[in-house]
Amino acid sequence: IKAEKLRAKGADQIAAEGKYPRELIEYLQSKPIEAVIGPSKRIYLVDGHHLALAAMQAGLPFLCVAILK
């Protein structure tokens, strides 16, 4: 599930699909990973790298990311 899908559907609709609890989805939406676009259009995490690593190790296929300017 991509961040766009999270925003478009909302936590309740994704939770209704049964794969992820609504509380987890709402928590991730409230704590977006902060990132910047760097050289060669690469994304660099500025804050939230511990949450990103934990989510990756837990096998979550999505996170919410806020691109800073």
* Model confidence, pTM: 0.67
- Provide the residue-wise pLDDT of the chain in tens; the chain has 69 residues: 445 555 556 667 777 777 788 888 888 888 889 999 899 888 889 999 899 888 888 888 778 888 888
Sheet holding 65-67, edge to edge: 43-47, 33-37, 65-67
User: Is the Cα dihedral 42, 6, 4, 36 positive or negative?
Assistant: negative
Q: Residue 10's pLDDT is what?
A: 65
Residue 1's pLDDT is 43
